[in-house]
Amino acid sequence: MHIHFLGISGAGLSALAQVMLGRGYSVSGSDPAAPNRVTTELEKLGAKIFSRHDAENIAGADLIVVTSAAENDNPEIVAAHLQNIPILKRREFLREVTRANDVIAIAGSHGKTTTTAMIGLILADAGLDPTVVVGGMVPEWETNARVGKSNWFAIEADEYDYAFLGLDPKIAVVTNVDYDHPDLFPTHELYQNAFADFLKQMRVNGVVVVCGDERAAGELAEASGRNVIRYGTGEQNQWRAAKICANDLGGSDFEIFRGNDFVGSGSLQIPGQHNVLNALAALAAAQSAGVEMEAALKTLARFGGVGRRFQVRGSFNGAMIVDDYAHHPTEIRVNLRAARERFPQARIWALFQPHTFSRTRALLDEFANAFEDADRVLITEIYAAREKDDSGLSSGMIVERMKGEARFVETLDAAENILRAELRVGDVLLTLGAGDVNQVATRLSEN
């Protein structure tokens, strides 16, 4: 069977393409972003990649899988309709791909990529040989997917375009439910309802692993009617982290309790209390899958993070360059807090590129209050992605609401010039955003 992926270089579809190649399917795909690292690796595995959309690209295809960003007038979609080739969105395709598997689905507004990678590595190290789909590059695998032979399938469960409704998990992890994607969910209630629907469709005998420190997530888990395992730092959680402190590896050490019983000591190389919570989620999910605590802790101790998640890229003029995908106020806040904890004496710079007009408009005040742990802030113009805006919305409106050393800099090139002139020995720069702000980190680290 020949499957054609429209938008194959995206995090979600590229990983699924790799899984289908590993299962013996013929795969092709198109994406104007090609060639890049992801598509080059897929070509090595046997995929045929096209760098532009064209009706001829789907020749011989039995099924078309399309990205959420695809327009109905895309020539490949038009051609598929004319040729009566089935077209599936990611949600529909996920249902087919995972139908026969025991699914561990990791959902949440923040932290799901890191938590999915943690769980996948723990299961693999324990010999469970899982298939894994992650929304970021896992350095240990040098890719964003793993094809296993067992029945376990760990997957990052994305709420955008309701993709996670294509899954019926045996184990569901919910890290948090923090309003996002206003282009798709105009209200907080609609956003929470999507997570409620996700939990309602999981297996009746399934397990929900939820952060009990997060009120909205905890309430949705309890309402699901499934068995609930809570994790967090509060006393109400079955799995609890205590005595969290920075370590010499740049991460955190912590003690782990189940109820009142001490069950082990954890150590991470990646910083921030939010990653301690991600680790607790991974431990609880892995134990539900049958992995012993000692083995899981060993994997977590060597876990080096995921691409574009507090990723140290190098240095410039003696300043450390760190890149992160953070594009929501909560993510910005926890990353800057982690930087402050890891580098307490450093002058911390934040270069932020807002992502989409709808998110910027909906969370304008939250963005303005997210940079308290930064000493210097540069904010560039909004990365439009799939959106258009005629209202005059600008990133400058965020800066107008901010206090301290914040500057609106219209372009990435202009921001880079400022950084080249002002970064000095001992500084730490975080490039933040889901657009192309990471290019600045790349160029600076290459000097």
- Report the distance separating Cα 85 and Cα 435, nearest Å: 33
Tokens of 27: 């795969």
* Bridge partners (DSSP) listed for residue 138: 143
Tokens of 3: 């499957």
How many CB atoms sit inside 10 A of residue 21's CB? 19
- Report the distance separating Cα 371 and Cα 356, nearest Å: 19
Mark whether 113 is an active-site residue. yes
Helical segments of 210-314, H only: 215-223, 273-288, 293-302
Q: Among residues 280, 269, 273, 342, which one has the least CA distance to residue 302?
A: 269
CA angle 396/401/403 to nearest 5° reads 110
Torsion angle (degrees, nearest 10) of CA 261, 266, 272, 275? -80
Task: Classify burial at 303, counting beta carbons within 10 Å of its beta carbon; exposed 0-12, middle 13-18, buried 19 or more.
Answer: buried
| Count of all residues that appear for the chain in the document | 447
How many CB atoms sit inside 10 A of residue 96's CB? 12
Kindly name the residue from 98, 112, 159, 431 that is annotated as catalytic. Answer: 112
Kindly name the residue from 39, 67, 98, 113 that is annotated as catalytic. Answer: 113
Mark whether 48 is an active-site residue. no
Q: Among residues 7, 77, 76, 71, which one has the least CA distance to residue 42?
A: 7
- Report the distance separating Cα 211 and Cα 241, nearest Å: 12
* Bridge partners (DSSP) listed for residue 28: 4, 48
Cβ distance 285 to 171 under 8 Å? yes
Tokens of 288: 């539900």
Mark whether 41 is an active-site residue. no
Kindly name the residue from 39, 67, 76, 156 that is annotated as catalytic. Answer: 156
Taking CA atoms, 197 is separated from 165, 193, 260, 288, in Å, by: 7, 6, 33, 22
Cβ distance 382 to 346 under 8 Å? no
Q: Catalytic amino acids?
A: 112-113, 156
